[in-house]
Amino acid sequence: MSARNLGTELDLSWISKIQVNQPAVLRRAEQIQARRMVKKEWQAAWLLKAVTFIDLTTLSGDDTSSNVQRLCYKAKYPIREDLLKALNVHDKGLTTAAVCVYPARVCDAVKALKAAGSTIPVASVATGFPAGQTHLKTRLEEIRLAVEDGATEIDVVINRTLVLTGQWEGSDFIKTSTGKEAVNATFPVAIVMLRAIRDFFWKTGNKIGFKPAGGIRSAKDSLAWLSLIKEELGDEWLTPELFRIGASTLLSDIERQIYHHVTGRYAAYHDLPMS
Protein backbone atom coordinates (compact mmCIF):
# COMPACT_ATOMS: atom_id res chain seq x y z
CA MET A 1 0.00 0.00 0.00
CA SER A 2 1.17 3.48 -0.80
CA ALA A 3 1.18 6.29 1.69
CA ARG A 4 -2.26 6.85 3.11
CA ASN A 5 -4.59 9.24 1.42
CA LEU A 6 -4.72 11.92 4.07
CA GLY A 7 -7.83 13.28 2.51
CA THR A 8 -8.73 16.77 1.57
CA GLU A 9 -11.46 19.30 2.20
CA LEU A 10 -14.58 18.07 0.48
CA ASP A 11 -15.19 20.35 -2.48
CA LEU A 12 -18.34 19.26 -4.23
CA SER A 13 -17.68 21.66 -7.09
CA TRP A 14 -15.02 19.17 -8.29
CA ILE A 15 -17.77 16.66 -8.82
CA SER A 16 -20.33 19.00 -10.27
CA LYS A 17 -17.81 20.27 -12.82
CA ILE A 18 -17.03 16.83 -14.17
CA GLN A 19 -18.30 16.21 -17.68
CA VAL A 20 -18.39 12.69 -19.04
CA ASN A 21 -19.47 12.03 -22.58
CA GLN A 22 -20.55 8.44 -22.70
CA PRO A 23 -20.30 7.72 -26.45
CA ALA A 24 -16.82 9.25 -26.55
CA VAL A 25 -15.72 7.15 -23.57
CA LEU A 26 -17.10 4.02 -25.22
CA ARG A 27 -15.08 4.74 -28.36
CA ARG A 28 -11.94 5.27 -26.30
CA ALA A 29 -12.55 1.97 -24.54
CA GLU A 30 -12.75 0.18 -27.87
CA GLN A 31 -9.57 1.83 -29.10
CA ILE A 32 -7.49 0.96 -26.08
CA GLN A 33 -8.21 -2.69 -26.57
CA ALA A 34 -7.08 -2.57 -30.21
CA ARG A 35 -4.22 -0.10 -30.25
CA ARG A 36 -1.71 -1.95 -28.10
CA MET A 37 -1.24 -5.45 -29.38
CA VAL A 38 1.79 -6.94 -27.68
CA LYS A 39 3.10 -10.20 -29.09
CA LYS A 40 5.78 -12.83 -28.51
CA GLU A 41 8.33 -12.23 -25.74
CA TRP A 42 6.83 -8.82 -25.03
CA GLN A 43 3.51 -10.50 -24.43
CA ALA A 44 5.14 -13.02 -22.06
CA ALA A 45 6.77 -10.21 -20.12
CA TRP A 46 3.49 -8.31 -19.86
CA LEU A 47 1.73 -11.45 -18.68
CA LEU A 48 4.28 -12.05 -15.94
CA LYS A 49 3.86 -8.42 -14.94
CA ALA A 50 0.10 -8.99 -14.82
CA VAL A 51 0.61 -11.87 -12.38
CA THR A 52 2.20 -9.49 -9.90
CA PHE A 53 -0.99 -7.40 -9.85
CA ILE A 54 -3.40 -10.22 -9.13
CA ASP A 55 -5.32 -10.30 -5.88
CA LEU A 56 -5.82 -14.04 -6.05
CA THR A 57 -9.31 -14.36 -4.77
CA THR A 58 -11.74 -16.89 -3.43
CA LEU A 59 -15.06 -15.53 -2.25
CA SER A 60 -17.38 -18.48 -2.12
CA GLY A 61 -19.82 -19.45 0.52
CA ASP A 62 -18.24 -22.90 0.72
CA ASP A 63 -14.61 -21.80 1.23
CA THR A 64 -12.76 -23.94 3.74
CA SER A 65 -9.23 -23.96 5.07
CA SER A 66 -8.16 -26.55 2.50
CA ASN A 67 -9.02 -24.56 -0.64
CA VAL A 68 -7.73 -21.37 0.99
CA GLN A 69 -4.47 -23.19 1.66
CA ARG A 70 -4.28 -24.30 -1.96
CA LEU A 71 -4.96 -20.74 -3.06
CA CYS A 72 -2.16 -19.41 -0.90
CA TYR A 73 0.26 -21.93 -2.33
CA LYS A 74 -0.70 -20.90 -5.83
CA ALA A 75 -0.18 -17.26 -4.86
CA LYS A 76 3.35 -18.07 -3.80
CA TYR A 77 4.06 -20.19 -6.90
CA PRO A 78 1.80 -18.71 -9.56
CA ILE A 79 3.63 -20.11 -12.61
CA ARG A 80 5.22 -23.52 -12.95
CA GLU A 81 8.88 -23.41 -11.96
CA ASP A 82 10.18 -24.96 -15.22
CA LEU A 83 8.33 -22.38 -17.28
CA LEU A 84 9.87 -19.57 -15.25
CA LYS A 85 13.29 -21.17 -15.68
CA ALA A 86 12.82 -21.31 -19.43
CA LEU A 87 12.12 -17.58 -19.34
CA ASN A 88 15.02 -17.02 -16.97
CA VAL A 89 12.92 -15.30 -14.34
CA HIS A 90 12.81 -18.12 -11.78
CA ASP A 91 14.90 -16.18 -9.29
CA LYS A 92 12.78 -13.06 -9.33
CA GLY A 93 10.46 -14.25 -6.55
CA LEU A 94 7.38 -13.88 -8.71
CA THR A 95 4.16 -14.01 -6.68
CA THR A 96 0.70 -12.58 -6.94
CA ALA A 97 0.11 -9.25 -5.24
CA ALA A 98 -2.08 -10.65 -2.46
CA VAL A 99 -4.64 -13.26 -1.61
CA CYS A 100 -8.16 -12.08 -1.00
CA VAL A 101 -10.65 -13.96 1.18
CA TYR A 102 -13.70 -13.48 3.38
CA PRO A 103 -13.00 -12.20 6.92
CA ALA A 104 -13.63 -15.61 8.44
CA ARG A 105 -10.94 -17.18 6.25
CA VAL A 106 -8.23 -14.61 7.02
CA CYS A 107 -6.87 -16.83 9.77
CA ASP A 108 -6.49 -19.78 7.41
CA ALA A 109 -4.80 -17.66 4.78
CA VAL A 110 -2.33 -16.10 7.19
CA LYS A 111 -1.45 -19.53 8.54
CA ALA A 112 -1.03 -21.10 5.12
CA LEU A 113 1.16 -18.30 3.85
CA LYS A 114 3.30 -18.41 6.97
CA ALA A 115 3.73 -22.14 6.47
CA ALA A 116 4.78 -21.54 2.89
CA GLY A 117 7.29 -18.97 4.11
CA SER A 118 5.69 -16.14 2.24
CA THR A 119 5.13 -12.49 3.02
CA ILE A 120 2.31 -12.05 0.54
CA PRO A 121 -0.27 -9.77 2.14
CA VAL A 122 -3.72 -11.07 2.98
CA ALA A 123 -6.62 -8.92 1.86
CA SER A 124 -10.07 -9.31 3.27
CA VAL A 125 -13.34 -8.08 1.98
CA ALA A 126 -15.33 -6.63 4.84
CA THR A 127 -18.19 -4.41 5.98
CA GLY A 128 -21.10 -6.55 4.94
CA PHE A 129 -19.65 -7.64 1.62
CA PRO A 130 -21.06 -7.55 -1.05
CA ALA A 131 -24.05 -5.32 -0.32
CA GLY A 132 -22.61 -3.12 2.43
CA GLN A 133 -26.09 -2.71 3.87
CA THR A 134 -25.24 -3.36 7.53
CA HIS A 135 -24.92 -1.07 10.52
CA LEU A 136 -21.85 1.10 10.80
CA LYS A 137 -21.09 -0.48 14.17
CA THR A 138 -20.92 -4.05 12.85
CA ARG A 139 -19.06 -2.89 9.76
CA LEU A 140 -16.32 -1.34 11.88
CA GLU A 141 -16.20 -4.36 14.12
CA GLU A 142 -15.78 -6.59 11.08
CA ILE A 143 -12.75 -4.61 9.94
CA ARG A 144 -11.26 -4.68 13.45
CA LEU A 145 -11.58 -8.46 13.64
CA ALA A 146 -10.11 -9.07 10.20
CA VAL A 147 -7.12 -6.91 11.05
CA GLU A 148 -6.69 -8.73 14.33
CA ASP A 149 -6.58 -11.99 12.39
CA GLY A 150 -3.74 -10.65 10.28
CA ALA A 151 -5.35 -9.05 7.26
CA THR A 152 -3.27 -6.09 6.07
CA GLU A 153 -5.60 -4.84 3.37
CA ILE A 154 -9.35 -4.35 3.64
CA ASP A 155 -11.68 -4.05 0.64
CA VAL A 156 -14.48 -1.93 2.05
CA VAL A 157 -17.88 -1.92 0.46
CA ILE A 158 -18.95 1.68 0.72
CA ASN A 159 -22.46 2.60 1.70
CA ARG A 160 -23.96 3.23 -1.70
CA THR A 161 -27.05 4.73 -0.15
CA LEU A 162 -24.84 7.59 0.99
CA VAL A 163 -23.18 7.92 -2.42
CA LEU A 164 -26.41 7.98 -4.34
CA THR A 165 -27.63 10.73 -2.04
CA GLY A 166 -24.43 12.71 -2.58
CA GLN A 167 -22.59 11.95 0.65
CA TRP A 168 -19.14 10.79 -0.34
CA GLU A 169 -16.49 8.72 1.40
CA GLY A 170 -12.74 8.77 0.89
CA SER A 171 -10.33 5.89 0.23
CA ASP A 172 -6.78 4.83 -0.68
CA PHE A 173 -7.85 2.53 -3.44
CA ILE A 174 -10.98 2.46 -5.56
CA LYS A 175 -12.48 -0.69 -6.95
CA THR A 176 -14.79 -1.02 -9.98
CA SER A 177 -17.27 -3.15 -8.08
CA THR A 178 -17.48 -6.06 -5.68
CA GLY A 179 -17.24 -8.56 -8.49
CA LYS A 180 -20.58 -9.91 -7.39
CA GLU A 181 -22.72 -7.56 -9.48
CA ALA A 182 -24.42 -8.35 -12.78
CA VAL A 183 -22.01 -5.97 -14.51
CA ASN A 184 -18.56 -5.65 -12.97
CA ALA A 185 -15.29 -4.29 -14.33
CA THR A 186 -15.88 -2.67 -17.74
CA PHE A 187 -13.49 -0.47 -19.67
CA PRO A 188 -15.72 2.59 -20.05
CA VAL A 189 -16.38 2.74 -16.32
CA ALA A 190 -12.71 2.19 -15.61
CA ILE A 191 -11.71 5.03 -17.93
CA VAL A 192 -13.91 7.43 -15.99
CA MET A 193 -12.50 6.20 -12.66
CA LEU A 194 -8.91 6.43 -13.84
CA ARG A 195 -9.42 9.97 -15.07
CA ALA A 196 -10.83 10.85 -11.67
CA ILE A 197 -7.74 9.35 -10.02
CA ARG A 198 -5.51 11.44 -12.25
CA ASP A 199 -7.45 14.61 -11.55
CA PHE A 200 -7.27 13.95 -7.82
CA PHE A 201 -3.53 13.40 -8.05
CA TRP A 202 -3.08 16.66 -9.98
CA LYS A 203 -5.13 18.54 -7.42
CA THR A 204 -3.77 17.05 -4.18
CA GLY A 205 -0.64 15.07 -5.00
CA ASN A 206 -2.20 11.93 -3.54
CA LYS A 207 -1.99 8.78 -5.62
CA ILE A 208 -5.07 6.64 -5.32
CA GLY A 209 -4.90 2.97 -6.33
CA PHE A 210 -7.24 1.20 -8.69
CA LYS A 211 -8.61 -2.32 -8.65
CA PRO A 212 -10.88 -3.77 -11.31
CA ALA A 213 -12.63 -6.88 -10.10
CA GLY A 214 -15.05 -9.37 -11.56
CA GLY A 215 -15.17 -10.92 -14.99
CA ILE A 216 -11.47 -10.61 -15.83
CA ARG A 217 -10.79 -14.19 -16.87
CA SER A 218 -8.52 -14.26 -19.91
CA ALA A 219 -4.88 -13.37 -20.31
CA LYS A 220 -5.87 -11.09 -23.19
CA ASP A 221 -8.24 -9.17 -20.90
CA SER A 222 -5.51 -8.67 -18.36
CA LEU A 223 -3.20 -7.21 -21.02
CA ALA A 224 -5.89 -4.79 -22.07
CA TRP A 225 -6.24 -3.68 -18.44
CA LEU A 226 -2.52 -3.14 -18.13
CA SER A 227 -2.41 -1.05 -21.28
CA LEU A 228 -5.42 0.90 -20.05
CA ILE A 229 -3.55 1.84 -16.86
CA LYS A 230 -0.41 2.66 -18.81
CA GLU A 231 -2.33 4.82 -21.27
CA GLU A 232 -4.55 6.69 -18.86
CA LEU A 233 -2.30 7.01 -15.78
CA GLY A 234 1.18 6.07 -16.89
CA ASP A 235 3.87 3.66 -15.74
CA GLU A 236 3.91 5.07 -12.20
CA TRP A 237 0.62 3.35 -11.57
CA LEU A 238 1.82 -0.01 -12.85
CA THR A 239 2.91 -1.27 -9.45
CA PRO A 240 1.10 -3.53 -6.99
CA GLU A 241 0.92 -0.55 -4.60
CA LEU A 242 -1.41 1.25 -6.97
CA PHE A 243 -2.93 -1.36 -9.23
CA ARG A 244 -4.55 -4.71 -8.52
CA ILE A 245 -6.67 -7.09 -10.50
CA GLY A 246 -9.24 -8.98 -8.46
CA ALA A 247 -9.56 -12.39 -10.08
CA SER A 248 -9.81 -16.08 -9.35
CA THR A 249 -9.49 -17.87 -12.70
CA LEU A 250 -7.32 -15.36 -14.56
CA LEU A 251 -4.08 -16.78 -13.24
CA SER A 252 -4.59 -20.21 -14.78
CA ASP A 253 -5.21 -18.71 -18.21
CA ILE A 254 -2.06 -16.62 -17.92
CA GLU A 255 -0.13 -19.72 -16.98
CA ARG A 256 -1.50 -21.50 -20.04
CA GLN A 257 -0.38 -18.66 -22.28
CA ILE A 258 3.09 -18.73 -20.74
CA TYR A 259 3.15 -22.49 -21.28
CA HIS A 260 2.34 -21.95 -24.93
CA HIS A 261 4.95 -19.25 -25.27
CA VAL A 262 7.64 -21.48 -23.78
CA THR A 263 6.75 -24.80 -25.37
CA GLY A 264 4.92 -23.77 -28.53
CA ARG A 265 2.08 -26.12 -27.55
CA TYR A 266 -1.27 -25.51 -25.94
CA ALA A 267 -1.53 -26.95 -22.43
CA ALA A 268 -4.11 -29.47 -21.28
CA TYR A 269 -5.84 -28.49 -18.05
CA HIS A 270 -4.03 -31.20 -16.12
CA ASP A 271 -0.63 -29.90 -17.24
CA LEU A 272 -0.86 -27.02 -14.84
CA PRO A 273 -1.42 -27.10 -11.07
CA MET A 274 -4.82 -25.91 -9.91
CA SER A 275 -5.36 -23.19 -7.42
Partner 1 sequence: MVNMAWLDTQDRHLGHYVNGKWLKPEHRNSVPCRDPITGENLASCPQAQAEDVAAAVEAARTAWENWSGLPGASRAQYLTRLAKMIQKHQRLLWTLESLVTGRAVQEVRDRDIPLAQQLLQCHAVQAYTQEETLAGWEPMGVIGLILSPTFSFLEMMWRICPALAVGCTVVVLVPPGSPTPLLLAQLAGELGSFPGILNVINGPASLGPILASQPGVQKVTFCGAVEEGRVLRRTLAGQGAELGLALGAESLLVLTEAADVDSAVEGVVDAAWSDRSAGGLRLLIQESVWDETMRRLQERMARLRGGRGLDGAVDMGARGAAAHDLAQRYVREAQSQGAQVFQAGDVPSVSPFFPPTLVSDLPPASPCTQAEVPWPVVVASPYRTAKEALAMANGTPRGGSASVWSERLGQALELGYGLRVGTVWINAHGLRHPEVPTGGCKESGSSWHGGPDGLYEYLRPSGTPARLPSLSENLNYDTFGLAVPLTLPSGPEIGPSPAAPYGLFIGGRFQAPGARSSRCIQDSKGNLHAYVAEGGAKDIRGAVEAAHQAAPGWVSQPPGARASLLWALASALERRESALASALERHGVELKTAKVEVELSAKRLRAWGARAQAQGHLLQVAELRGPVLRLREPLGVLAIVCPDEWPLLAFASLLAAALAHGNTVVLVPSGVCPIPALEVCQDMATLLPAGLVNVVTGDRDHLTRCLALHQDVQALWYFGSAQGSQFVEWASAGNLKPVWVNRGRPRAWDQEAQGAGPELGLRAARTKALWLPMGD
CB of residue 168 vs partner 1: minimum separation in angstroms? 21
CB 256 within 8 A of CB 248: no
CB 100 within 8 A of CB 55: yes
Nearer to partner 1, 30 or 82 (CB): 30
Separation between Cα atoms, residue 186 and residue 73, nearest integer Å? 29
> Which is catalytic among the residues 108, 172, 211, 253?
211
> Is 211 marked active-site?
yes
Tell me: does residue 202 bind partner 1 (CB under 8 A).
Answer: yes
How many CB atoms within 10 Å of residue 247?
29
Tell me: does residue 260 bind partner 1 (CB under 8 A).
Answer: no
> Which is catalytic among the residues 74, 76, 175, 207?
175
CB of residue 109 vs partner 1: minimum separation in angstroms? 37
104, 168, 234, 236: residue in contact with partner 1 (rule CB under 8 A): 234
Q: How many residues bind partner 1 (CB under 8 A)?
A: 22
> Is 111 marked active-site?
no
x/- mask, partner 1, residues 214-233, rule CB under 8 A, reads: ----------------xx--
212 prior amide bond cis, ω within 30: no
CB of residue 5 vs partner 1: minimum separation in angstroms? 21
> Is 220 marked active-site?
no
CB of residue 214 vs partner 1: minimum separation in angstroms? 22
x/- mask, partner 1, residues 20-49, rule CB under 8 A, reads: xxxxxxxxx--x--xxxxxx----------
* Buried residues in 147-168 as b, exposed as e (16+ CB within 10 A): bebbbbbbbbbebeeeeeeeee
Of the candidate spans 15-23, 66-74, 248-256, 266-274, the one that interacts with partner 1 by CB under 8 A turns out to be 15-23
CB of residue 202 vs partner 1: minimum separation in angstroms? 8
Q: List, by residue number, the catalytic residues.
A: 155, 175, 211
Binding site for partner 1 (CB under 8 A): 19-28, 31, 34-39, 195, 202, 230-231, 234
